[in-house]
Structure 1
Amino acid sequence: MREGVLLTGATGFVGRAVLAELVARGIPVHATARRPGPVLPGVIWHAADLCEPSARARLIAAAPAARLIHCAWEIEHGQFWTSPANEVWRAVSRDLVAGFLEAGGQRVLALGTCAEYDPLAPSALAEARLVAPITPYGQAKALLQADLAQICGPVLIWARLFHLYGPGEDRRRFVPSLIDALVEGRPAEVRAADLLRDFASSAHVARALVSLIEAGTVGAFDIGSGQSRSLGTLARIIAETAGRPELLRLSHAPGPQDPAELTPNFSALAAAIGLTAEHPEQALTEHVRREIGAA
Structure 2
Amino acid sequence: MHSQLALVFVAFLSTNALAQMTNSACFFESGNYRLDWNIDANDVVHFNLTFRDFPTSNAWTGVSFGQSMSAGMDVILVMSANGRLSTADAYVRGYQPPTMDPMNDVRTEEVRMEGRILRARFSRPLSTTEGPQFDTSLDGCVSWHFVTGTGAMTANMSPSKHSTTPQAKQVCDLKRQCVAPVNSQSNPGQQNTIRTTPRPMATTTPNRGMMTTGRGCLALDPDWCRAYVIDYLVWQEQYNRLSRSQACIPLMNSLLYAPSQCCQNLRVNGC
- Normalised by the size of structure 1, how large is the TM-score? 0.24
- Normalised by the size of structure 2, how large is the TM-score? 0.25
Between Structure 1 and Structure 2, whose CA radius of gyration is higher? 2
More helix by percentage: 1
More strand by percentage: 2
